Chain A
Amino acid sequence: MAIEFKTPEAIEKQLRQVQIVAEHAMRPDSRRLDDNEHERPARYVAMMLPQMQEMERANIAAAKARAAKKKEAALATQSNGHGGVAVLEAPPAEEARQSTGTMMLVHMIEMLSWGDAGIYLCIPGGGLGGAAVQAVGTAEQIERFLTRYTEGPAKWGAMAMTEPQAGSDTGNIQTTATFDPATNEWVINGQKIFCTSGKLALEESDGMVVVWATVDKKAGRAGMKPFVVEAGTPGVIIAKVEEKLGIRASDTAAIIFDNARIPADNVLGDAEVKTSGGKGFKGAMKTFDSTRPIVAASAIGIGRAAFEFTRDTLAKEGVKMEYGKPRWKLSAVQADLLEMEAQLRAAWLLTLKATALLDAREENKLESSMAKAKAGRAVTMITQKAVELLGPLGYSTELLVEKWMRDAKINDIYEGTGQINTLIVAREILGYTRNELK
């Protein structure tokens, strides 16, 4: 291997297609969908659906093959030493280093978010819920829960983790799953909030939500398990759709589970509570290592939109970047633009490194949290600068810059706030446990 910084031709080609979607099915609807919160971005969904269904087919086939292998491996050994988590399992040698799936994905999401980050989130498919099923589901579960995303009208999936009293401290969730042997069902009770695309998944399509619930409160994290709850399940109520600062095209749902009954085999992974280690919970935390670079990529797409627009608009006014000049010969505005561009690049390269490790199936906890913390912070700064540099027009809804600033902020919050990700980085570099560094 050698160090290389080159976007593969296959990704370049795909990006040209995605840019067309961004320019024609996202940007023209940006303002309207921001003004009319939660209106479904019909043009974008229709345009993305065939491609997403094809992608889901490929994902499902790969996940099923992995799940089958995992089953064999699980029979051979009790533990693989990595917490039994799918994303961490070393692939057979011939498979190693060949996957570029996430690299393609982060590039696409960067470009879609350059188009519109709120609309991007309404991408049809299994979403975070689908990712969880792929990561820890059996071949049968993958087939049963995810086939819907490969055919028919658009459907969505979602993940429900956060509760009113449990945000970053996910170990504190109170939603319960109780097994009823009489009917061979799990009974879910509790309330979830901040579920991205929850309404699309449960009310607007025949989708599903992966709900985290505890089967044994005394067991703490070890008692937490993911359950698949399908649309149309009695006792599942969308109580509220949040009104937000930005990404308004995307629904953020509050869901009440009132004696919601689901089949016994809707639990993902092992239902048994093991006192020796909370593998299920670690599994949930582990999925963040793969989703954080994706959130970082989305942030960077917004940042690039804001930077490019600011740079081009100022250039038309005669304020051009001069990359050759010493810093002390730049104007304040030029220095700001340089800073924005450098920040964006640093965040993007951190994201690409975290992603390359992920595709190589190497540990990337530190790198993905570094990328996420950096991207969230950098893009918050970049979009705020863009509003500032464009003066009265920057603050006006005539342009999209003010919207990008509002949209960008979510990336410093969800999938772990900037502080949580900084905390993870700190623990990793110091070699501290959560008790040593709270």
Chain B
Amino acid sequence: MYSFDMTSEQKMLVDTVRRYAEKNLRAVYREAEESKQVPDKVVQMGWELGLLPGFIDAQYGGYGEYSALTSALYLEEMAWGDLGISLHLLTPNLFAIPIAQFGNDKQKEQYLALFCNDSFPRATAALVEPVVQFDPADLRTTAVKEGDSFIINGKKTYVPLAKQAEFFLVYAQEGGVTQAYIVPSDTPGVKIGKRVKLMGVQALEMYEVEFENVTVPKANRLGGLKGIRIQKLLTLSRITLAALAVGLARAAYEYAVAYAKERVAFGEPIAHRQSIAFMLANMRIEIEGTRLMVWEAAYKFDAGEDAAKAALLAKSYADKMVLDVTDGAVQVLGGHGYIREHPVELWLRNGRGFVTMDGAVVA
């Protein structure tokens, strides 16, 4: 059947994350962006929500199983609070989710327990490369098998929290196919470069990382001999990013609605004019349409159906939608939208990031 009602467990989780986003993320988002730093306290509180352990099997120390749909539901709330801080909070997922999806028993046993502790895990992933036509399925970074080891060479960028990371999940091309390798940060040849400066999500610390003849044992190849399926990972990433885009867009839409009802011009609220009201109506329609596409893709993923196409359609639609909506919000606020006193300019800058981050966020 077609049903659009969350389970009561999902509703509770969404409520919890919404409260956290409202109380904590909204309170510090501007300060975090301007100081380019996420307060530790907010991270710790976010970690204590226990979202990631909820996706890890009990046998590895968690208390649930992965659901792309449940993830999509709370990611919307998180991004509604703030995207930069959300991406900081989700950094351990970039390591843990692929391990849970593709790891062999030994890898799951060894690593997943790290994500079921009280303290924020220090693990991240390196996928994106500093090239113009970046394609996760066609990487420049290479992994070459030599004896019982893999030797990794290449330059990565957009690696979140690389400086404090103890483990990297490094994506590299092995004989023309993208695979992933677990690399402890103290492995010789791992060089953390400069912090990446971006147009938006500036609260999130991201670095360039170079891997120069980094040698790891062959047991560190994710999934062992079987390896990973990069398209499946991209499918999950697209669902993740599209869900975050819906949350960000909803934040901008709600702000614009409230402003338009409040702001008086020519003697009445500007929302009384169709030129403004229709912009807001179209924002709402596009947000809702995107959300349903995200849900459908996530539902298919969880049901074990081929979700690749649904996820791609959702992501591609979300990329455009989030730009339209955040830009529309700036426009509704007019000159005030351009001023950093209001959040909409930041949301527009953040919104621009989604198309770029394809593959880079999995949660």
Q: Which residues of A contact B (CB under 8 A)?
A: 1-8, 100, 103, 323-329, 338-339, 341-343, 345-347, 349-350, 352-353, 355-357, 367, 370, 373-374, 419, 422-423, 425-427, 429-430, 432, 436-438
Contacts of B290 in A (CB 8 A): 346
A425 near B285 with CB under 8 A, answer: yes
Give the chain A neighbours of B313 by CB distance below 8 A.
338, 341-342, 345
* B352 CB, min distance to chain A CBs, angstroms: 14
Q: Give the complex CA separation of A323 and B295 in angstroms.
A: 19
A426 touches which one: B2, B277, B299, B319 (CB < 8 A)?
B277
* Bound CA span A427–B299, Å: 32
Known contacts A1-B3, A342-B293, A346-B293; A437 and B274 CB within 8 A of each other: yes
Closest approach, in angstroms, between the C-beta of B48 and any C-beta of chain A? 27
B358 sits at the interface (CB 8 A): yes
Q: Are A3 and B4 in contact (CB under 8 A)?
A: yes
CA distance A1 to B314 in the complex (A): 24
Does B151 make an interface contact (CB < 8 A)? no
Taken together as a complex, chains A and B put the C-alpha atoms of A355 and B4 apart, in Å, by 11
**Chain B interface helix/strand/loop/mixed:** helix
Q: Tell whether, in the assembled complex, residue A426 and residue B3 are in contact, meaning their CB atoms are under 8 Å apart.
A: no
Of B1, B282, B292, the contact of A353 (CB 8 Å cutoff): B292
Provide 29 A-B residue pairs closer than 8 Å at the C-beta atoms, listed in order of the A residue: A1-B7, A2-B10, A3-B10, A100-B1, A103-B2, A326-B136, A329-B135, A338-B313, A338-B316, A342-B293, A343-B317, A346-B292, A350-B285, A353-B2, A356-B2, A357-B4, A373-B281, A422-B281, A422-B282, A423-B277, A425-B284, A426-B274, A426-B278, A426-B280, A426-B281, A429-B280, A432-B272, A437-B272, A437-B277
Q: Which of B69, B135, B272, B309 lies in contact with A3, CB distance below 8 A?
A: B69
Q: Does B209 belong to the interface (CB within 8 Å)? A: no
Bound state CA distance, A342 and B292, in angstroms? Answer: 12
Q: In the complex, what distance in Å separates the CA atom of A325 from the CA atom of B272?
A: 44
> Is B296 interfacial (CB 8 A cutoff)?
yes
Q: Is B292 in contact with A350, judged by CB distance below 8 angstroms?
A: yes
Indicate the size class of the contact surface on chain B.
35 or more
Contact A422 B299 (CB under 8 A): no
Closest 5 CB pairs of A and B: A346-B289, A349-B292, A1-B5, A426-B277, A426-B281
Interface flag for B261 (CB, 8 Å): yes
| Cα(A438)–Cα(B278), bound, Å | 11
Instruction: Specify which chain B residues have a CB less than 8 angstroms from the CB of A323 in the assembled complex.
Output: 308-309, 312
Q: How far is the CA of A419 from the CA of B290 in the complex (A)?
A: 21
Contact B316 A353 (CB under 8 A): no
Chain A CB within 8 A of B6 CB: yes
Cα distance, A306 to B182, chains bound together (Å): 47
DSSP majority for the A interface?
Answer: helix
CB under 8 Å from chain A, chain B span 300-337: 300, 303, 308-310, 312-314, 316-317, 319
Closest to A324 in B: B231
Q: Are A374 and B271 in contact (CB under 8 A)?
A: no
Measured CA separation A352–B289 after assembly (Å): 11
Asked if B133 lies at the interface with its beta carbon under 8 angstroms from chain A, I say yes
B277 to chain A, nearest CB (A): 4
Given contacts A426-B278, A429-B284, A436-B272, contact A350 B289 (CB under 8 A): yes
Please give, as numbers and ranges, the residues of chain A lying within 8 Å of B277 by CB-CB distance. Answer: 423, 426-427, 430, 432, 437
- Contact across chains for B289 and A347 when beta carbons are under 8 A apart: yes
Do residues A325 and B135 form an inter-chain contact, with CB atoms below 8 A?
yes
The residue among B290, B308, B309, B355 with the most chain A CB atoms within 10 A of its own CB is: B309
Question: Of all chain A residues, which has the CB nearest B269?
Answer: A436
Asked whether B192 is an interface residue with its Cβ less than 8 Å from the other chain, the reply is no
B302 CB to closest chain A CB (Å) equals: 10
Question: Which of A6, A325, A426 neighbours the largest number of chain B CB atoms within 10 Å of its CB?
Answer: A426
A7 to B272, CA, bound (A): 41
- Whether A4 and B2, one on each chain, are in contact in the complex, defined by CB atoms closer than 8 angstroms, is yes
Q: A345: which of B3, B271, B282, B293 is its contact (CB, 8 Å)?
A: B293
Interface flags for B76-106 (1: CB within 8 Å of A; 0: not) read 0000000000000000000000000000000
A370 pairs with B285, CB closer than 8 A: yes
Of the candidates B7, B69, B261, B312, which one forms a contact with A430 in the assembled complex, judged by CB atoms under 8 Å apart? B261
Residue ID in chain B nearest A335 by CB atoms:
B316
Please report the C-alpha to C-alpha distance between residue A422 and residue B137 in the assembled complex, in whole angstroms: 41
**Would you call A374 and B2 a contact (CB within 8 A)?**
no
Name the residue on A nearest B319 (C-beta): A327
- With A and B bound together, what is the CA distance between A326 and B136 in angstroms? 8
Q: Which residues of A contact B203 (CB under 8 A)?
A: none
Q: Is B288 an interface residue (CB 8 A)?
A: yes
Q: Are B274 and A5 within 8 A (Cβ)? A: no
Q: A349-B289, A350-B289, A373-B285 are in contact. Are A356 and B4 (CB under 8 A)?
A: yes
Q: State A100–B2 Cα separation when bound (angstroms).
A: 10
Residue of A nearest to B231 (CB): A324
B134 contacts partner chain A, Cβ-Cβ < 8 Å: yes
